[in-house]
Amino acid sequence: MALSCSIAFAEDDIPLSMVSPYYLSIFGGVGFLEDSNVSLSPLSVGFSRDGDHIEFDNGSIVGGALGWKFAPGWRAEAELAFRRNSVSAYFEGTFSPPVSNGAQSGDAISAFSIMANAFRDIEVTENISLHVGGGIGMALLELNLANTDYQFGSVSAPVNDTIWSLASQLGAGIDWKLGNGWVAFVDYRAFAARDTTFSGTHSSSGRSFNFDMDYFHQAVIFGIKLPLGG
């Protein structure tokens, strides 16, 4: 019994660097999508409009990753994540100052991402570690916006489109060893998607138009890492 107790205590004291090299992480948190200026081209009469603006509510992020500690202090991940933010307001720049009819129910943008990450771990104590890193990958973005054209009243110019985009992210956080190889973590993530050009159709003319905006998402996430094997 004494030997068993001593082994159990020793396992609880294993530093983070000696935990199984393979792990599964599950996380969720709050996501903040930066407001963006918008460019539309061409509209129903063939002109472009660059003064529009879109604003977003705080949203959510959930995800998971499979990780591998391939060298002391270094690990790689294959990550899947989903982000969603509702549109809080859309301002048409034709007017001075720009006007908004407010967002309609269902106006939102979401991003499903597939990322390859690399992190550098820095042990502070046997039970606490800091990490910093980033990743690259692809994001499937979906934008649903009921109307981008308020100038003509009942005439609408909706955007309901899904696109693939190159994506990148940076992250930093802290890990806490919980015992039995389980690790809790808190992270800050900055995520950006490139070439976010959606397509819409103006209802009066049937003309298609491009909807260009920036996608820059920040999040605070909380998660658990579970050892696999080892």
> Mind listing the pLDDT tens digit for each residue in 106-163?
999 999 999 999 999 999 999 999 999 999 999 999 999 998 877 655 668 899 999 9
Whole-structure pTM value: 0.86
CA distances from 23 to 19, 67, 88, 156, 199 (A): 9, 5, 38, 49, 40
Domains and CATH numbers, the chain: 2-227 (2.40.160.20)
Contact criterion met (CB below 8 Å) for 52 and 91: yes
Torsion of CA 51, 31, 124, 119, to 10 degrees: -70
- For the chain, what is the largest distance between any 2 Cα atoms, rounded to a whole number of angstroms? 85
Q: Supply the pLDDT for residue 2.
A: 42
212 forms bridges with which residues in the sheet?
Answer: 39, 197
Phi/psi at 79 (5° precision): -120, 140
User: When comparing pLDDT for 180 and 178, which is higher?
Assistant: 178
Res 181 pLDDT > 70: yes
pLDDT band at 48 (very low <50, low <70, confident <90, very high): confident
Measured in whole angstroms, the distance separating CA 145 from the mean position of its chain's CA atoms is: 19
